[in-house]
Amino acid sequence: MARKPKTLLGKLFAPFGSYWLAVTLLVNLFLLTWLGTLEQVEKGIHWVQEEYFESYFVWAKAGAVRLVLPGGYLTLGLLTVNLVVGGLVRIRKSRRTIGVITAHIGIALMLIGGLIEHKASTYGFVELELEESKDQFMEYAGWEIVIWDASQTSGVTEYTIPSEDFDDLAGSKRRRFERDELPFDLVLSHYMLNSEPVRAVNVGRPDAPVIDSLFLRELPREKEEEHDITGVYATAVYDSGASTSDNFLWGRIPLPWTVEAGGKTWAIMMRRKAHDMPFAVRLKKFTKDDHPGTPMARSFSSDVIRIDDDGAEIPVHIRMNEPLRAGGLVVYQQGYNQSRKFPGQYTSTLAVSKNPSDRMPWVAVSIIALGLLWTFMDRLFGYLRKQKSRNARAMPVPEDVKKEQAA
């Protein structure tokens, strides 16, 4: 039971610890999950995640009806405040509430872990051919423009522009990007989250500049965010004031756009955002077991060599529920594809997770379980004590004892 607030500040915060506020927020969270799941079928999980859970308010769709609901940010934020005020600050502190307080601490840790994961985690993949080594992984959805000196063959210095810096440049809106190390500036425009090159033949009026009879056409977002292919138009402006003609950078063009400036050839390319790993992985063997009589995989795994910075080589077997954990990364077996280099062989796709709160759910659930166990045992022993006392009072007194007492 919560204590009644005595101060003005306590009375102002008391409604935030209300039991009915907690019930309302949980019902709203249920509605967000239910309606978002229904809309996910049509628009995909990532769109739903952004619209329903990474927002303060959402225009939710319930059949033919539209509802304005508090979004995930607002709901979980208020739920956290409710948990702290009602379950930790205002609750009476006694032996009987130790378990409840402990369980609330576990729930608070779980919410904090979710916030850390949302703000600080990175998810991506690395695809390996047989005997190929890589020390970087690529994000599923994040993109970047990378610029480098095309004459370099080793120790290449890359200059990057993350998509967050230009993803608002829709249509003809332009922005100029400068780097002191580069003999030119890059002007970007016509950003498209998902796009494809299209021939301008028989197209009435393209919405973007035509380059060698091609232009980038914006497409609706894919249901799976990793299937979106980003595109943007770019112009290089030299220190002299001259500039190149427009060109477009598209995520699936395998060769970079080259620019001559400062006596060097510079390569410019759109790619998925890359992250360095504290070790390299080299694929030694990929194993795929099929269901009998079918080409459908029953299980698949990778034997890799983890190569640390000091040159040490450690063999690791990776499969679905047995990931590689090292250097703050978790590397899972995700999938496979037909090899482009070795006919009849497969490449191995490894999912890479960088999540500072990776172990937080285990800790939180353990604390919650401890709190619930304490509460259960306290109630059990209390019940047993009451029953023992009742039985003692109800037990009949033997006749010889009565005579003895009367004498």
User: Exposed, middle or buried: residue 149 (CB in 10 Å: 0-12, 13-18, 19+)?
Assistant: middle
Going from the C-alpha of 87 to that of each of 15, 67, 76, the distances in angstroms are 13, 30, 15
Helices (H) and strands (E) in the chain, counts: 7, 18
pLDDT score of 348 = 94
Q: Give me the residue spans of the domains in the chain.
A: 8-120+360-392, 123-134+277-354, 138-274
SS3 137: strand
Contact 313, 103 (CB under 8 A): no
Q: One digit per residue, pLDDT tens: the chain, 407 residues?
A: 556 666 666 667 778 888 899 999 999 999 999 999 998 888 878 788 889 999 999 998 888 888 899 999 999 999 999 988 888 888 888 888 899 999 999 999 998 998 898 888 999 999 999 999 999 999 988 999 999 999 887 778 999 999 999 999 998 899 999 999 999 999 999 999 999 999 988 777 788 889 988 999 999 888 888 889 999 999 999 988 888 888 999 999 989 999 999 889 999 999 999 999 999 999 999 998 888 888 788 889 999 999 998 889 999 999 888 999 999 999 999 999 998 888 888 999 999 999 998 889 999 999 999 999 999 999 999 888 888 888 777 766 566 655 665 65
User: Exposed, middle or buried: residue 54 (CB in 10 Å: 0-12, 13-18, 19+)?
Assistant: middle
In angstroms, rounded to a whole number, what is the distance separating the alpha carbons of residues 45 and 65?
Answer: 21
Q: What is the pTM of this model?
A: 0.75
